[in-house]
Amino acid sequence: MGNLPAYIDCVFRSCECNPDINWLILTDDRTPRRLPSNVCVKYATMDEFQETFSRKLDFEVKIPNPYHFCVFRPAYGFLFADLLVGYDFWGHCDLDVIYGDLRAFLGEEILSSYNKVLNRGHLTLYRNNPEVNRYFMLKAPNVIDYRGAIRDPRTRQFEEWRGMNPILRYHDIPQYHAEFIVDVRIPTRWKYTRFEGTEIPNYPNQVFYWYKGRIFQAYRNGEGGTIDHEYAYIHLQQRPLPTPGFDPYTTDGFLITPDGFFPYAREFFTEADYQKYNRARFRPARELMRMACRSLRWRLARIFHTPV
C-alpha cells in the first residue's frame, strides 16, 4: 500500500531478469507504470483489504497505516490463497529491493528441503500448502500471537525476528537462512552514510551495482585491481533515492549509490570514483524536522495507545 519508490523501474527491471518468478504488487497507487510480464498489480483500498482480512480471519481487522501491512505478511498464503493456486512457493518482499539472480542462490536442493526459506521481511518464501499457510497461527512462549500482533498498531517485526522466526524455532520447523544478501545499513539520525551491508565484509573502497540480472559488490584489492562479489539482492532501507535519469529497461547495468542510480557497464573504477560513491552527507534540515515530528507522534501513540 502507499506510494512506490521513485526508482521503482530499477526494481521492476531486476524482477524482469528473474523470469521464472512472479511478483504481485498490492497497492492503491494507480499511477500508470511500465510493468514486465512477470509483475502484475492488484488494486484495492485500505478499506477493501480490511474487509477481506476481517472476513477471512474471522475477527475485525483495523489497519492504522500502510506499514502495519507487514504484520499480515506471514498470513498472505492464507489470505490470498485464491491468487496462489498452482505455485509451489509464495513469499513477501519489500519494494526497496534490487534483485540479482535469485535462483542462483535458491536452488532446488534448498527449496525441496525447507518449508520456509530466508527470514528477513524484505524477502521470505513459504511452501504453498494449507499446513504451511497456517504457520502464522502457531504460538510460542513469550512471543506475541497473530491476533495480538494484528490488533496492536505498535507491533514490529512479527514477520521476522519478533514473531515467525522464534515461533517456528520453538516448533522445531527448519528455516533456511544464509547471508548472501546486501542489507544496507540504515542512515544515522543526522547523516546519509555510505552504502555498507550488514553481516557482510565491507571495504574502504567499494561500490554496489546491478549488471545483466546480477548484483555485485566491487572493491579494490591490494594491487589496485577490482574484485567482484555476487549477492542475491540489495535492500535499500530508508534511502529516499531519486528517480533515475535513464531508462533501466534499456541498459545492461547501473550503479546503486547513496546518490541514486547511474548507468554502468563495468568500467574500471578510479580512486576518485570510489571516493565519489562512498561519501556521506548530512540530512536536509527540513527532513530532520519531519523526523522529529514523526518521533514525537510515535511517542505520544505509545503513551496513549492510539494509532499513528
Residues 28 and 113 in one domain: yes
Residues 55 and 137 in one domain: yes
Residues 18 and 123 in one domain: yes
The span from the CA of 116 to the CA of 254, in Å, is 32
Residues 92-104, mean pLDDT to the nearest whole number: 97
pLDDT of residue 283: 86
Q: Measured between alpha carbons, how far is residue 288 from residues 19, 20, 122, 274, 282 in Å?
A: 41, 42, 26, 28, 10
Examine the fold and report which residue of 160, 176, 192 is the final residue of a domain before the chain moves on.
176
Residues 221-233, mean pLDDT to the nearest whole number: 93
Answer yes or no: is 300 within a domain.
Answer: no
The span from the CA of 93 to the CA of 123, in Å, is 4
Instruction: Output the DSSP codes for 52-87.
Output: HHHHHHTS-----SGGGGGGGGGGHHHHTGGG-TT-
pTM of the complete model: 0.91
Residues 127 and 159 in one domain: yes
pLDDT of residue 308: 53
Answer yes or no: is 230 within a domain.
Answer: yes
Q: Strands 226-231, 123-127: parallel, antiparallel or unpaired by DSSP?
A: unpaired
pLDDT of residue 18: 98
What is the tens place of the pLDDT at every residue in 258-294?
999 999 999 999 999 999 999 888 888 888 788 778 7
Residues 147-165, mean pLDDT to the nearest whole number: 92
101, pLDDT greater than 90: yes
The span from the CA of 126 to the CA of 174, in Å, is 12
Answer yes or no: is 268 within a domain.
Answer: yes
136, pLDDT greater than 90: yes
The span from the CA of 207 to the CA of 219, in Å, is 7
For the chain, how many structural domains are there in total?
A: 2
Residues 145 and 231 in one domain: no
Residues 163 and 198 in one domain: no
DSSP-derived letter for residue 241 is P
Query: Which residue range forms the structural domain that includes residue 87?
Result: 8-176
Residues 172 and 196 in one domain: no
Answer yes or no: is 289 within a domain.
Answer: no
Residues 120 and 143 in one domain: yes
Answer yes or no: is 138 within a domain.
Answer: yes
Residues 169-178, mean pLDDT to the nearest whole number: 96
User: Phi-psi bin for 142: left (phi > 0), alpha (psi -120 to 50), beta?
Assistant: left
What is the tens place of the pLDDT at every residue in 44-59?
999 999 999 999 999 9
Q: 294 by DSSP, 3-state: which?
A: helix
Q: Strands 214-220, 226-231: parallel, antiparallel or unpaired by DSSP?
A: antiparallel
Residues 56 and 122 in one domain: yes
Which uninterrupted H or E stretch holds 170? Answer: helix 164-170
Residues 195 and 117 in one domain: no
Answer yes or no: is 307 within a domain.
Answer: no
Residues 18 and 145 in one domain: yes
Answer yes or no: is 306 within a domain.
Answer: no
Percent of the chain with pLDDT over 90: 79
Mean pLDDT, the chain, integer: 93
The span from the CA of 230 to the CA of 105, in Å, is 10
Answer yes or no: is 246 within a domain.
Answer: yes
Residues 135 and 57 in one domain: yes
pLDDT of residue 1: 53
What is the tens place of the pLDDT at every residue in 183-213?
999 999 889 999 999 999 999 999 999 999 9
